[in-house]
């Protein structure tokens, strides 16, 4: 009992520390940017006391949820303490060194600053851009090498706690296949990026077959390095477009997809949802996690608006108004549920 209490305090202290570090980084970097390369078009965003309290509360609820799920054996507690500190240490100076490039791109509204060597014919038009003014977009090893920490800073150290919210609905969903051997069950993580969700999934599902897909070869290479020392069977990584998954109809038992939908135009979101429906086996579970939306998080509308203004996210404004629940239901999914945790909304649905 006392041990559990101490672990809980340790977990919360680490989370709070990361949150303070994330906030401090953002404050210092924006002051330096305003001094060196001021962007007159960018309005300053001041969080009032009321909003700050709501943010703190919702972050605290997320931590409680994260702790309780681990306490209830939805996933092992060691995942809560699994922080890649060394990796962060190598990524952090690179972020600082790259920051002036990001500021310059933002100031010049230059969103098509991509590596010359890429073959543009291999990517859809909506993808060929510098999302969040990121150097090289998603299309270089350098971009992949600093992405994780950038997201961690953006979410004040809560990114993995939010990604872990996909685990419980997947676990509940897979229980309908309990008579099957676990190694026959396939979980696909679409747009897996640099592997953070895969690591959480492997922790919770040590025996199931896990596959990660993404359109970026560089991000998949980074994911491969990140997950290479995990216990359990090999996690398969496949480079492909979420619009056209290389899986047969009805062949997967669960799909997760984290932080992809806000970066897709509406018609592509619909197409990807269709594709998820096609490849899932009947009774299989779909779990999406992405930014909160206006309909269920009206208190955070200023944050959503600021995100859209400060980062290059051309499809975000439409995304936050998109009624995905209805779309998922209209496709034929049932048991459609959604819930928000801090800055992330999670949908689950059964085919
Ligand atoms: C914001 S990142 C999210 C990455 C990861 N899921 C995470 O939790 O950090 C978006 C990812 O989606 C990938 N992506 C964007 N459009 C895609 C598409 N049409 N098909 C496959 N992957 C795509 C990008 O390459 C990138 O890795």
CATH number at residue 184: 3.40.50.150
- Residue 332 and residue 274: Cα distance in Å, rounded? 10
Q: Give the ligand 1 atom nearest the CA of 163.
A: 8
Long-range pairs for 98-103: beta carbons < 8 A, 24 or more residues apart: 98/135, 98/142, 98/146, 99/29, 99/32, 99/33, 100/36, 100/37, 101/135, 102/133, 102/134, 102/135, 103/33, 103/36, 103/37, 103/39, 103/133
Based on the fold, state whether residues 273 and 207 are members of the same structural domain: yes
Based on the fold, state whether residues 52 and 120 are members of the same structural domain: no
Q: Ligand 1: does its nearest atom lie under 6 Å from the Cβ of 212?
A: no
Give the residues of the chain that fall short of pLDDT 50: none
C-alpha 140 to ligand 1 mean position (Å): 14
Q: Ligand 1: does its nearest atom lie under 6 Å from the Cβ of 263?
A: yes
C-alpha 318 to ligand 1 mean position (Å): 18
> Could you say which of 32, 56, 84 is where a domain stops?
84
Strands (E), 63-221: 186-190, 209-214
Q: Determine the 3-state secondary structure of 214 from DSSP.
A: strand
- Residue bearing tokens 């696909």: 188
Beta bridge partners of 258: 289
- Residue bearing tokens 């419980």: 168
C-alpha 40 to ligand 1 mean position (Å): 31
Based on the fold, state whether residues 272 and 137 are members of the same structural domain: no
Q: How many domains does the chain have?
A: 3
**Candidate from 150, 158, 214, 227 with most ligand 1 atoms within 8 A of CB, to mutate:** 214
**Candidate from 162, 189, 215, 223 with most ligand 1 atoms within 8 A of CB, to mutate:** 215
Q: Give the ligand 1 atom nearest the CA of 219.
A: 27
Based on the fold, state whether residues 108 and 215 are members of the same structural domain: no
Please report how many Cα atoms fall inside a 13 Å half-sphere around the Cα of residue 55, on the Cβ side. 17
Q: Ligand 1: does its nearest atom lie under 6 Å from the Cβ of 193?
A: yes
Q: Ligand 1: does its nearest atom lie under 6 Å from the Cβ of 241?
A: yes
Beta bridge partners of 346: 289, 339
Based on the fold, state whether residues 62 and 35 are members of the same structural domain: yes
> Could you say which of 56, 84, 112 is where a domain stops?
84
- Residue 307 and residue 316: Cα distance in Å, rounded? 9
Q: How many CB atoms lie within 10 A of CB 209?
A: 19
Q: What is the pLDDT of residue 44?
A: 64
Q: Ligand 1: does its nearest atom lie under 6 Å from the Cβ of 196?
A: yes
Based on the fold, state whether residues 14 and 61 are members of the same structural domain: yes
- Residue 187 and residue 198: Cα distance in Å, rounded? 10
Contact 186, 209 (CB under 8 A): yes
**Candidate from 154, 200, 210, 260 with most ligand 1 atoms within 8 A of CB, to mutate:** 260
- Residue 194 and residue 208: Cα distance in Å, rounded? 20
Based on the fold, state whether residues 96 and 166 are members of the same structural domain: no
Question: Interior CA angle at 159 toward 153 and 164, to 5°?
Answer: 170
> Could you say which of 129, 154, 179 is where a domain stops?
154
- Residue 321 and residue 304: Cα distance in Å, rounded? 11
pTM greater than the 0.85 cutoff: yes
Based on the fold, state whether residues 110 and 238 are members of the same structural domain: no
Based on the fold, state whether residues 276 and 207 are members of the same structural domain: yes
**Would the CA dihedral through 90, 95, 100, 104 be positive or negative?**
positive
**Would the CA dihedral through 260, 261, 263, 268 be positive or negative?**
positive
Based on the fold, state whether residues 148 and 166 are members of the same structural domain: no
Based on the fold, state whether residues 105 and 227 are members of the same structural domain: no
Strands (E), the chain: 186-190, 209-214, 236-239, 252-258, 280-291, 334-341, 344-350
Q: What is the pLDDT of residue 41?
A: 64
Question: Interior CA angle at 318 toward 317 and 319, to 5°?
Answer: 90
Residue-range definition of the domain harbouring residue 17:
2-84
Based on the fold, state whether residues 100 and 27 are members of the same structural domain: no
């Amino acid at each position: 009992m006392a041990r559990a209490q101490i672990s809980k305090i340790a977990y919360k202290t680490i989370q709070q520390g990361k949150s303070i570090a994330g906030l401090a980084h953002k404050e210092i970097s924006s002051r330096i940017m305003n001094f060196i390369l001021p962007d007159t078009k960018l309005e300053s965003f001041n969080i009032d006391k009321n909003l700050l309290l709501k943010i703190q509360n919702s972050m605290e609820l997320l931590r409680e949820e994260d702790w309780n799920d681990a306490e209830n054996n939805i996933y092992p507690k060691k995942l809560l303490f699994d922080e890649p500190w060394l990796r962060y240490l190598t990524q952090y100076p690179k972020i600082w060194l790259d920051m002036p490039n990001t500021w310059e791109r933002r100031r010049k509204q230059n969103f098509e600053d991509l590596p010359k060597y890429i073959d543009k014919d291999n990517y859809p038009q909506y993808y060929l851009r510098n999302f969040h003014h990121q150097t090289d977009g998603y299309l270089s090893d350098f971009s992949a090498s600093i992405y994780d920490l950038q997201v961690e800073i953006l979410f004040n150290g809560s990114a993995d706690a939010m990604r872990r919210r996909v685990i419980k609905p997947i676990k509940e969903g897979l229980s309908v296949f309990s008579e099957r051997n676990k190694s026959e069950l396939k979980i696909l993580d679409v747009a897996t990026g640099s592997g953070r969700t895969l690591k959480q999934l492997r922790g919770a599902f040590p025996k199931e077959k896990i596959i990660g897909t993404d359109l970026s070869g560089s991000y998949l290479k980074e994911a491969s390095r990140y997950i290479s020392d995990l216990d359990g069977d090999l996690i398969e990584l496949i480079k492909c477009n979420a619009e056209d998954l290389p899986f047969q109809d009805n062949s997967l038992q669960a799909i997760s997809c984290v932080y992809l939908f806000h970066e897709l135009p509406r018609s592509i979101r619909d197409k990807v949802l269709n594709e998820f429906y096609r490849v899932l086996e009947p009774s299989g579970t779909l779990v999406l996690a992405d930014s909160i939306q206006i309909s269920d998080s009206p208190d955070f509308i200023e944050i959503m608006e600021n995100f859209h203004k400060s980062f290059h996210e051309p499809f975000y404004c439409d995304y936050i108004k998109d009624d995905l629940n209805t779309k998922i239901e209209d496709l034929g999914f049932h048991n459609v549920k959604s819930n928000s945790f801090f800055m992330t909304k999670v949908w689950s649905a059964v085919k």
